[in-house]
Chain A
């Protein structure tokens, strides 16, 4: 029976095609379609679309899976390319010798040269984000489990103390980092984090002389960034264009860097 007080909506028609209409509403929708040929034609059209899609691609599941996609092969390849996290963990012990070696500090003013504007640095950071965030196998130069080594190395290259934030509590694992040319010819540091579903965030740091400390936000089509300056050093946190999530991540990064600065002084 058609209940005149609750006409079938277009959403329900889609749900009907997709088997998402609750059992107690099925009959009403079916009756509605009998009474409304135009809606019935719509539904038939959508079903035909679905049938074509399944006819075109459904058989792929029956194809034998190529050898390179078997888990053994995937794991072997990952390991031989040296990027397996478990293999990296084992290697971490070897890297430990770096711990007592070179001191990380270089004279403070050494690399802080030319002024850099918010726009230049943020643009550089977003470019780096877009360039490396799509890399699956080689997104970084130094993997995330070599944090002490990376801290020392980049501190040396950039000329100011690097602090690599820990975002594990937000479900973001440190993928690693790399050295980049900074906006004014100075060096820049670039750290990448990754969540369980593959979403990536990056922290970019370069010398800045503009004294401005306010947090600023810039968003593009699919990515966005927060920028601030802390003691002559610019930081940019970039990620997918989801402002709230990016703000949460940025706050964590800012707090950790701020706290590390406070401890030292």
Chain B
């Protein structure tokens, strides 16, 4: 017998979380992490108790987008995520000293299960998951354990991103994961194809990275705010 006890408490850890939004994208560099971070900041600013969990272990970047430095979880019957700009934030970078985390698929799964089992999120209105890119065992595990998760898919106008998106959405349907909708990022304008909303390419976004106040003032954040309303999520007032 070899029982992994950790999955048994994951439901318990997420019990007081009302909604889990899994921000997913199937191509690299399409703005998935910026979307997840900005979404968390927008929700927190609106007064919702919000958490953000960077699950992109190989390319964790939420701490850079937020400019979150010098943080570490508090040890209290597990790990309590530090609060940054009103958002409870958890990331693998707390444990890697910002060094590379060279993990194979099964190891990523193991690390994600460990953090899901020991992180005490407490009461939250929203937990935003910045998902690992693509559909791999880590992404499948997250969907398996965070059963309440609703998928918010990010894509770009490129035919390459849309092609992968169509296949991936079918897979999420077969996993019975509710899909909130698709947001087309870096749009050139016009009506998006197969997406609920489009966010125009914002050349000013790069300069706002690392500064939450500035990030929330970008055209990207305004575009995301409008997209959230189209997806039935609370956007900015």
A and B interact: no
B residues with a Cβ closer than 8 A to A are none
